[in-house]
Amino acid sequence: MADLVDYAGRPLAFIFRYVRRRPIAHAIVLAAVLAAVACSVGTQYGVKYLVDTLSHGAIAGVWTAFILLGSLIAADNLLWRLASFIANFAFVAVTGDLRRDLFRHLTGHSPGYFAERLPGMLTSRITATSNAVFTGENMFVWNVLPPCAATLAAIALVCTVSAPMAAGLAVVAGIMVGIMFRLAAAGRPLHHDFASKAAAVDGEMTDVVCNMPLVRAFGGFLREHRRFDATVEREMEARRRSLFYLEKLRIIHALVTIVLALGLLAWAIMLWQRGEATTGDVVLICTLGLSVLHATRDLAVALVDITQHVARLSEALATLLVPHELRDHPEAAPLVRRGASVKFEHVHFRYGAGQHIFEDFNLSFTPGERVGLVGPSGSGKSTLFALLQRFYDVQDGRILIDGQDIARVTQESLREAIGVVPQDISLFHRSVMENIRYGRPDASDEEVLDAAFEARCDFIEDLPDGMRTLVGERGLKLSGGQRQRIAIARAFLKNAPLLLLDEATSALDNESEEAIREALGRLMRGRTVIAIAHRLSTVRNFDRVVVLQLGKVIQDGPPDLLVRHEGLYGRLVQREMDRLTSRAA
């Protein structure tokens, strides 16, 4: 959906993009509305015809006038219902289309995009966009188009009685709508400010709810209440400024309407006095004049409201429709698996405009090799994992898997070739079965059960609904060790040739740790394994240990060899042994 980016600063074009997908339904709605407006205005002519017929005492013509008026009234009401019935399908479908497109575009962003924005703010903007488009379509069809069409039709009918009056009415109506629209547009910054602050409230709430254990642990309820109160107060003040500005416009229009309605009625009475208009003409002019003035009021109010909704839509699109930082190369091909060798060639990388993490970085991993990454915090271990999965693009150099530059293969095929067991486990608020099957969506139930067995997920038998048990948001109903084992089961099921482990046993209790180590041993067999090791005992049986410091490889070799040599790895191992000894004492 890369073309969505083109609509970031064009909210009206964005709406029309989805209207065009259902042209027949929208055309029927517009035709029905215009026909209904014509019948509505025509009823006022029917009233004039009936009044004139009654005034002349033409008995036979009275029933003709009655039938005409009755037909117009019936057609008016039935056409509105037809338009509404079709709109219920078409307008709702538009909101579904755009939410699907926006969600797909949103999920295509890089991790850096989400790191800089609150999740609640992003999701609220998708909802706000959907609501704004739905409201905008409804307001145009029910509140903008009818008064415009009614005004033109009414002026045409007034012209049959008095051309000067029709001309004056047209000029006044045009000037009034133009002034109101310009004033409404001038208030756009106020509406944008309100839209931004309303989204901030949603983001603030989501941020606190997602971190509720942290708030509770640090007794932060009072602080968060005060912070949220301040955020809500800013949003309310912005909304008040927006609404009061709109109310000023409505007051101006109301005063103008009063003066013009009385003037138009006086003009019609003077025409009647001079014999230039019939009683029916006076009734027609009076009703049409009031209709035109009320229509301009409704139109002005609708235009003001639409301006507010367009402002919200524009603000949301500016946030959501940011170009994707990571895209498949135009000539990208699926990754061809040949054993999962990995090579970093002269890689230069930094986050944004920050300090370089890697400069001319070189490192290789052979197929089937088990390698542990060791080093202090900030040495580049997690960044290496992120680059290997192409969560970010390098500024220079290449990363090769099986001799293929990962920047020139499809992202989908790259991710399919990599299995990951992270330290911070992410689970969906879905069943245990669904969370494990996420590793391979087409897996059978039997294959999912086998993966759970291999990962020692024996705790599933004790859950209320077994495999169908919902795990809660981010898996909060499960312990850390249980979440870790589900992640390992997911990796078993995916069966990828390249396996990334981020201290995969760190959250396990002592009783199950050895069993999981055995499961991981089977999982690693025949695969290229790269593991970030915080506890060095986890890599003691690995083929190699690579020690990183400040983005550079300072030691590289078998762990039993490195531990016997002077260097950072030996010191880290000794420090860990001293800690274990002190705890035992």
One DSSP character per residue, 164-204 reads HHHHHHHHHHHHHHHHHHHHHHHTHHHHHHHHHHHHHHHHH
How far is residue 556 from each of residues 346, 400, 548, measured CA to CA in Å? 17, 20, 9
What pLDDT sits at residue 511? Answer: 58
Tell me, rounded to whole angstroms, the distance of Cα 70 from its chain centroid: 49
Distance, CA of 137 to CA of 309 (rounded, Å): 11
Q: Which token pair is 463?
A: 């859950």
| CB burial string 527-560: b at 16+ within 10 A, e below | bbbbbbbeebebbeebbbbbbbeebebebebebe
Closest CA to 496 of 575, 417, 381: 417
Distance, CA of 479 to CA of 476 (rounded, Å): 7
Pairing between β-strand 370-374 and β-strand 544-549 as defined by DSSP bridges: parallel
What pLDDT sits at residue 358? Answer: 93
What pLDDT sits at residue 585? Answer: 55
Q: Which token pair is 385?
A: 């994992």
Other C-beta atoms lying within 10 Å of the C-beta of residue 175: 12
In sequence order, what E strands does 183-269 have?
none
Is the overall model pTM greater than 0.85, yes or no?
A: no
Predicted confidence (pLDDT) per residue in 298-332, tens digit: 776 677 677 777 877 887 888 888 888 878 888 88
Predicted confidence (pLDDT) per residue in 188-210, tens digit: 677 667 767 776 777 778 777 76
Nearby residues of 213 by Cβ (< 8 Å), 6 or more positions away: none
Pairing between β-strand 528-532 and β-strand 498-502 as defined by DSSP bridges: parallel
Sheet (strand 396-401) strand order: 356-365, 342-350, 396-401, 404-405
Give the 3-state secondary structure of residue 421. Answer: strand
What pLDDT sits at residue 2? Answer: 43
Could you tell me the domains of the chain?
Answer: 2-320 (1.20.1560.10), 334-417+499-505+528-585 (3.40.50.300)
Residue segments in the chain with a per-residue pLDDT below the cut of 50? 1-2
One DSSP character per residue, 512-529 reads HHHHHHHHHHHHHTTSEE
What pLDDT sits at residue 29? Answer: 94
